[in-house]
Structure 1
């Protein structure tokens, strides 16, 4: 029998959900510092946690407590995918280690700053494929820069590039002691000049850093809205506004950086919705196809392709089924429902250009 200490505030996820609006940045810094100190104690005892996530970190009387450590190792049991060292997904021979815990801490520090589960709307398969390629959550607007730098250093892809737990603890301690950072000061309605200066500074900082633009593109790709959702275009524009960047800046960057599935996906969204360009559903289809084709194609792009084939006058429900089926195989339940709905219809159509696309036509018939 395993006996665990009682935690009056439940898990970290539960605590953040119930208390986030009351937390100041200093409260968040202290919570992050407690978490790092708890992991430091484990590492000093030569214990690796291997499964740090917000559902097995607990809060008791405003103090962080750890549970379920030192027992995970295989890929299938390596923990909650969002928090797992991406190196684990590139080869089964990679053994989770102290730097794996550092990666998990980075994700948890982001979660403490955002009150959101990382990549909540994404499938496990999507994350296993894309996190090793560099997919990370986007920093929350007005996050203190020093705090942001700590967790982005923690979640770097190469373990040797991540700090040790001693360095993480030290940097958080300094942050608490200083009690102020470049972007921490709240903006009141009366401080219009300060707001303009801050906005100008953030725009210059983003424009000067391709890494920031890349992060914003990843954020757009993970917005939980379908292309047929009438609110999606506005949600994308609001997201860009919150990150002090224009749609034209993102569109121009995407045109010059077509080297990642999420770049193709977001370009498809911009053409389909008419963001920073005229609506062009043919171009949208082409970019969605680049994002969705291949063995590691994006499920959301495949779903979008199915939707376009079915609904945007392409008159090719067989091709729609093809894409819905590929998306469904990655766990997209809505795609699976659409596939079987069309499959059971008695009025399906196919274009001549699609016939060569299908290896086996039997999948399209009940």
Structure 2
């Protein structure tokens, strides 16, 4: 007899959190890899996916933990170093129902297997870049308030030479039992003091796994020490290989400091890896012939980038794309996003003109095509050319770049670089919402809210705004505040104030403006003209047109 508890939870997850459900019959050539993992083809195509089993009937499973984790999976799906979650499926027999996550397939397997097979072909540059990718992925988790706490080479994967991070805790929470061998095998990657739940556990794992194993290609702790639990708990560490660069070994040592408070934060790990990579490129550059360095620059008036500069910019601008996409998906407006871009330039001392020149010369991937479009749209490092921006974003979108799709949404909506086309706006927003982007859900909700190529449907708009808000989208939180204020059927002044305050605290200029309005008109709070003026002023300074008009009226 099947229990209905897991089934009810699955329904809550699917219908309440925009997690897609697919029938198990959509999968074929299903091959069992281990006890809880299957490899399969999807929808009678060549696309391969991983099916990960998890047990919802376990009494220790917390519903909110599962829902929050799946929400997070959807929220970070854009990040290149995160395993993509496509949805959920299930299969059943008379005795039980098995639930499976549908996840991205990685052709390089686990990090452990990848290093075994490719170690001799990996330069230190390759290892640095893998280390940086993993540190960035863990930093993203930490910035979202998530501690991984289970980093080891078995749940870090490689796809086309790119790190893919998986298993944020759901699968380990729903399957506590592990073999004694596996427990000991992965213990070297865990902080010996983790039993006190120190927040620097992930930093320790980064040191043991990312820096040691990527450097040596060998597991942390050799075979003869593998089962000595006391060695691990006493803080035993491997010695670095003699040819390991000093800066790298120093970072390894700092990450494994026995005192958690003395370990670097993840942002410091990322920053130090950036310096290490930059120094590597500089050393590599100095080894080249002086004449060869300048051969192609003789007689040129334009500023040409050196090999070091090019490699540095490749790596830094790739990081800019990821940060910009993350902040855009959170619902930040164009002025705030532009400020993020220039703050990034200032922090890494990037010249906008050099960045634009680099992007112009490196149009071999959709990220750089998309960013070049963004630069043209906003006049970054060049004159504003919105038509060129539109064409570049169109090209990047055709290559599968979802950020470019967002740019096209705004171009078609505002008629910038192209004619307005609300039918395309609705279609694009629907596609982005289907992919689970919080800003895609918010954009589709806005279409239903004001009637963009469709009839106004306040219920659909509200539901979509709520889903996006649950994923942390600050514009959606503001839109909910507006709906509670203007839609008669759900009018609630207290919720208007609370949601306006929430979105304002997270930096939404619309929310800041709305909070000023609440204080001006006494919406859910006592009238306070001084606070109204202050919030209007802040929003106006951030480019909010409504706030600028309100200030004139005060």
TM-score (norm 1): 0.48
Could you say which structure has the higher strand fraction? 2
TM-score (norm 2): 0.34
Structure of higher CA gyration radius: 2
Q: Which has the higher contact order (CA 8 A, sep 6+)?
A: 1
